[in-house]
Amino acid sequence: MGRRDARSHLLDIVTACENALAHVGDMSEAGYVADRKTRSAVERELEVGAEALGRLLRDQSSLLDEWQTDARAVAGFRNRLVHEYQHIDDREVYRIVREDVPVLLVEAAETLRRLS
């Protein structure tokens, strides 16, 4: 399978962000922490979005120059989700979805629009 282009990665990021936000919806932090299915779904979306962002960082980092999002930190968080899953703080994931994912969504969507 060949390399995917930047638009494909950006679309993956947008979709993952939208899905993570939809999964959490209007859940409280306590509700999120208590709901294993939602936590698993959100973590999977974050893994996909962070992997796509990591590939953009590797292949076309200039697209991210004006982003507020720290792509390296997101990639590092993806590695924690995958390799250090037993140490993930559900409250931290909830905070990321509430505070960081909306910013990433806007940045990825705006960049995708510019490339289209």
Q: What are the sequence ranges of the domains in the chain?
A: 6-115
Q: Using only C-alpha atoms, what is the Rg of the chain?
A: 14
* Amino acid 2: pLDDT: 47
Helix ranges restricted to H, the chain: 6-24, 29-34, 36-60, 71-83, 90-95, 101-115
Could you read off the pLDDT of 55-95 as tens digits, one per residue? 999 999 999 999 999 999 998 899 899 898 889 999 999 99
Rounded distance between C-alpha atoms, residue 93 and residue 4, angstroms: 28
Q: How many CB atoms lie within 10 A of CB 103?
A: 13
Q: Are the beta carbons of 56 and 9 closer than 8 angstroms?
A: yes
- Taking residues 38-65, what's their average pLDDT? 96
The whole-chain average pLDDT of the chain stands at: 94
User: What average pLDDT score do residues 101-110 get?
Assistant: 98
Residue 14's closest CA among 93, 110, 115? 110
CA distance 104 to 67: 8
